[in-house]
Amino acid sequence: MKAVFLDRDGVVNHDPGDYTRSVEEFHILPQFMSQAKKWADLGYKFIVITNQGGVAKGLYKDNAVHAMHQYLQGKCIEAGFRIEAFYFCPHHEAYSGKCLCRKPGSLMVEKAIHRFDIQVDKSIFFGDKDRDIVCAENAGVRGVKIEVNGRIPSPEELNMA
């Protein structure tokens, strides 16, 4: 399987800069659905890989993260594709100590690669921070950095069509 790995805040939804804490604050970027559909139409599967340190900080709970992901999944299904899996790290070094899953660590990506038998050489990871790209590359996946709250490139733009 070939996959598109997605950081969440700033790539899929608007990143306010101080955590997206609820479905009410979760605003899907206007160009995300149409760009993602292009990848889906070529057989790419989607996997979200996101740090959610606000959980460790007590700003919101796991169930808020799950609710945002359910909301996103519903919107994706309405647009004609789905997200295969959501992986999130609820830890933050300053509050819960070091962990292996928090990006730039690549454990979440590696779990997805093994779970879904992903072809890393045919997959891509879109992120808006350097830690996303380091995470991708540590797992053997091509990382592409986009602007925060920017547009993900189309498969044609990256010669992956």
Positions annotated as catalytic residues are 7, 9
Q: Tokens representing 115?
A: 């779970």
CB atoms inside a 10 Å sphere around CB 59: 14
Q: Tokens representing 25?
A: 């604050």
CB atoms inside a 10 Å sphere around CB 81: 18
Q: Are strands 83-89 and 124-127 parallel, antiparallel or unpaired?
A: unpaired
Q: Tell which residue, 37, 12, 41, 14, has the closest CA to residue 25.
A: 14
Tell me the three state secondary structure of residue 90.
Answer: coil
Handedness of CA 38, 39, 41, 46 (dihedral sign): negative
Whether the Cβ atoms of residue 46 and residue 36 lie closer than 8 Å to each other: yes
